[in-house]
């Protein structure tokens, strides 16, 4: 029906009635969500996070710098005192006393090294580790640039935890007399400062990116270099002494970074994950969703009461549906309203007439046993009567199925065959073939009759491909049978190509689209030859000539077929050329689990076989 006609019949559409209510609710909820999250909350949370991060980092940077400077100042005062008494007779005794007092006031100090006065080690630290001075001097030799830089007036701080089983940092500097000094200390006090107790995480690196302080203990013990982080690279390349960044790490997780550059080109860095920042917002969104759901539920209740105006027309349609289910297509039905239900009622009346006509068509189509054929007939693509086709015909049969089925229940027989036929028919369908019929446990299929792959060669190759696929499908089927304690089977496939007559054949009450002709009979008889030849796929010379460049075959003895004066050449299909699998007939039989045949003992006079083997 045209759109204009629909508009004339529908004055107040259901979509207008319901859409108005739902639209107002959606606009309200959506607007509230946008206002709270996008405008009021998210920006405020970002600003607050950046300010808090910057504040924490500033405090941390100031504390670290004050601590380091205090270490340097205290060390200078102590060394000045030692310089005053170094020439006294009791120097060592007085030095130890002064150092003990120094350590009492500077509890984090582990040792002090002076190129002029040697090394003094905190007693408890000395008890824990041996060869401390040797380890330190070895480190200085390897990192001579540290000493050179310090003697030039630079302030150096490094992580030497790898020599010990606890975190140890050292600061190196020079005194006015070019005396090289290093003070080693425990970063425990600073570690407590770096722990903010919130989502924020703080860490300290030196100018080389070496970790000095970090919440991850392993980072400090390994002196892990963090210069690979994109944010750290950005900070170290920046000319600004401090700043803020929003960057992703190596795991693509975004972080808010705040950093300060302090004494000795160290970087105090504080960061917080973006997901943690917006976690509260996400909870807020969830609450908004709950509110929206509640509002929508209220709307549903309101609409429920409103929908009573639709009840009677829908009941009429339900009664009409029952009538159609009972086969009554002439309805006493009229539209009651001028909305979509009224329009639907009018369409339903027309549909009932169409269903009556469809029922007649379905009665005719039920005579077809193949879906593709039925669809072609419905579309007028199958001409009435027969027509000549150059096609490829396929027959397959299960060996000794009659004897096997005698030991099975009817239910098991049907279930067995349904599984088997499903796998085999799937191979036919995938190659654009048509299953003509099932005869007991036998399958008849054809390529090039109702459907074609484009040429006789393509149809012949499609049929052989289907048979090769069936070989694999049968192997999988037999494996399944073994797993469930069923019966593995053997099949034979016969394929022939030639002229056939295709058409609708049957009685006045039932017709079947099928193919007949000498080529069909020869395909059926070819299938029966698999058993004496111990093969699973046999093709005639007619088929072989069309696809000989695509298959590996083994020529079989000539066979005299009933109705033919000359022997018919048969070929056992071993495999497709270039495909993995058997390379000759003997390997094929071994794969199939079949014994090599003795053709001389075949009873060629057996009537049902309809052949004799040429000796």
- For residue 269 the two structure tokens come to 């860095």
Instruction: Report the residue count for the chain.
Output: 615
| pLDDT(561) > 70 | no
What mean pLDDT is predicted for residues 52-76?
88
What integer pLDDT is reported at residue 376 of this predicted model? 67
CB proximity list for 563: less than 8 A, separation 6 or greater: 518, 521
What integer pLDDT is reported at residue 386 of this predicted model? 76
Q: How do residues 429-442 score in pLDDT, each as one tens digit?
A: 999 999 988 888 89
CA distances from residue 309 to 9, 15, 430 in whole angstroms, order as listed: 18, 14, 52
Percent of the chain scored above 90 by pLDDT?
Answer: 27
Is residue 215 a contact partner of residue 293, using CB atoms and an 8 Å limit? no
Is residue 455 a contact partner of residue 389, using CB atoms and an 8 Å limit? no
Please indicate whether residue 280 or residue 268 has the higher confidence score (pLDDT): 268
| pLDDT(1) > 50 | no
Rounded to 5°, the CA angle 184-186-187 comes to 115
What integer pLDDT is reported at residue 575 of this predicted model? 93
Residue 576: band (very low, low, confident or very high) from pLDDT cuts 50, 70, 90:
very high
349-353, 375-379, 527-531: the lowest-pLDDT one: 375-379
d(CA 46, CA 41): 9
What integer pLDDT is reported at residue 609 of this predicted model? 46
| pLDDT(613) > 50 | no
What integer pLDDT is reported at residue 382 of this predicted model? 64
What integer pLDDT is reported at residue 5 of this predicted model? 46
Q: DSSP string spanning 11-78? A: SS-HHHHHHHHHHHHHHHHHHHHIIIIIIIIHHHHHHHHHHHHHHHHHHHHHHHHHHHHHHHHHHHHH
What integer pLDDT is reported at residue 392 of this predicted model? 95
Is residue 528 a contact partner of residue 430, using CB atoms and an 8 Å limit? no
Q: How do residues 450-473 score in pLDDT, each as one tens digit?
A: 888 989 999 999 999 999 999 999
b/e string for 223-252 if b means 16 or more Cβ within 10 A?
bbebeebebbeebbeeeeebeebebebeee
44-53, 179-188, 372-381: the lowest-pLDDT one: 372-381
Q: How do residues 32-43 score in pLDDT, each as one tens digit?
A: 776 766 667 777
User: How many other C-beta atoms lie within 10 A of the C-beta of residue 307?
Assistant: 14
Nearest to 540 by CA among 395, 438, 388: 395
Nearest to 506 by CA among 494, 514, 518, 498: 514
Q: How do residues 267-278 score in pLDDT, each as one tens digit?
A: 988 888 888 777
Q: How do residues 375-423 score in pLDDT, each as one tens digit?
A: 666 666 666 667 889 999 999 999 888 888 888 888 989 999 999 999 9
Residue 592: band (very low, low, confident or very high) from pLDDT cuts 50, 70, 90:
confident
Q: How do residues 543-555 score in pLDDT, each as one tens digit?
A: 999 999 999 999 8
What mean pLDDT is predicted for residues 571-595?
89
Query: Pairing state of beta strands 387-398 and 242-248?
Result: unpaired
- For residue 457 the two structure tokens come to 């060669």
| pLDDT(612) > 60 | no
Q: How do residues 236-279 score in pLDDT, each as one tens digit?
A: 888 888 888 888 888 888 888 899 999 888 898 888 888 877 77
CB proximity list for 535: less than 8 A, separation 6 or greater: 492, 529, 556, 572, 573, 585, 588, 589
pTM over 0.85: no
Q: DSSP string spanning 342-373? A: HHHHHHHHHHHHHHHHHHHHHHHHTT-S-HHH
Average pLDDT, the chain: 81
């Amino acid at each position: 029906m045209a759109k204009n006609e629909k508009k004339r019949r529908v004055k107040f559409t259901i979509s207008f009635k319901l859409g108005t209510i739902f639209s107002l609710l959606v606009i309200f909820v959506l607007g509230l969500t946008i206002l709270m999250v996008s405008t009021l909350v998210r920006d405020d949370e970002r600003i607050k996070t950046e300010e808090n991060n910057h504040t924490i980092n500033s405090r941390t940077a100031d504390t670290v710098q004050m601590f380091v400077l205090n270490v340097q100042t205290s060390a200078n005062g102590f060394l000045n005192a030692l310089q005053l008494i170094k020439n006294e007779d009791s120097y060592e005794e007085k030095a130890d006393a002064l150092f003990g007092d120094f350590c009492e006031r500077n509890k984090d100090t582990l040792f002090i090294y002076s190129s002029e006065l040697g090394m003094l080690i905190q007693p408890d630290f000395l008890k824990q580790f041996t060869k401390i001075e040797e380890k330190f001097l070895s480190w200085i030799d390897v990192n001579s640039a540290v000493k050179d830089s310090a003697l030039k007036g630079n302030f150096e701080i490094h992580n030497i935890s790898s020599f010990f089983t606890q975190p140890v940092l050292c600061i190196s500097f020079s005194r006015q007399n070019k005396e090289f000094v290093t003070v080693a200390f425990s970063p425990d006090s600073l570690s407590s400062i770096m722990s903010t107790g919130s989502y924020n995480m703080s860490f300290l690196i030196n100018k080389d990116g070496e970790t000095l302080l970090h919440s991850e203990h392993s980072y400090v013990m390994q002196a892990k270099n963090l210069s690979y982080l994109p944010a750290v690279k950005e900070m170290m390349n920046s000319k600004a002494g401090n700043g803020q960044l929003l960057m992703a790490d190596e795991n693509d997780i975004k972080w808010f970074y705040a950093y300060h550059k302090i004494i000795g080109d160290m970087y105090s860095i504080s960061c917080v994950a973006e997901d943690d920042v917006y976690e509260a917002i996400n909870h807020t969104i969830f609450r908004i969703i709950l509110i929206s759901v509640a509002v929508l539920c209220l709307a549903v209740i309101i609409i429920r009461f409103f929908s009573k105006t639709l009840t009677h027309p829908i009941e009429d349609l339900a009664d009409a549906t029952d009538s159609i289910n009972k086969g009554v297509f002439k309805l006493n039905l009229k539209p009651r309203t001028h909305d979509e239900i009224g329009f639907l009622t009018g369409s339903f009346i027309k549909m009932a007439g169409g269903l009556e006509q469809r029922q007649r068509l379905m009665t005719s189509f039920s005579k077809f046993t193949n879906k593709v054929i039925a669809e072609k007939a419905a579309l007028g693509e199958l001409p009435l009567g027969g027509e000549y086709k150059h096609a490829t015909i396929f027959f397959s049969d299960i060996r000794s199925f009659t004897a096997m089925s005698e030991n099975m229940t009817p239910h098991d027989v049907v279930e067995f065959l349904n599984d088997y036929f499903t796998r085999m028919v799937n191979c036919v369908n995938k190659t654009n073939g048509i299953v003509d019929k099932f005869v007991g446990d036998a399958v008849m299929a054809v390529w090039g009759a109702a459907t074609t792959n484009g040429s006789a060669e393509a149809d012949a190759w499609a049929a052989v491909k289907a048979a090769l696929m069936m070989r694999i499908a049968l192997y999988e089927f037999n494996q399944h049978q073994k797993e469930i304690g069923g019966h593995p089977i053997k099949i034979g496939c016969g394929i022939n190509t030639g002229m056939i007559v295709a058409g609708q054949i049957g009685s006045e009450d039932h017709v079947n689209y099928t193919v007949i002709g000498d080529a069909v009979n020869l395909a059926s008889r070819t299938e029966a030859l698999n058993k004496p030849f111990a093969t699973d796929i046999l093709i005639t010379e007619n088929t072989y000539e069309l696809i000989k460049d695509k298959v590996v075959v083994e020529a079989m003895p000539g066979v005299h077929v009933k109705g033919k004066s000359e022997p018919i050449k048969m070929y056992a299909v071993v495999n497709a050329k270039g495909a993995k699998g058997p390379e000759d007939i003997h390997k094929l039989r071994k794969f199939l689990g079949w014994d090599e045949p003795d053709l001389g003992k075949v009873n060629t006079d057996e009537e049902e076989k309809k052949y004799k083997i040429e000796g």
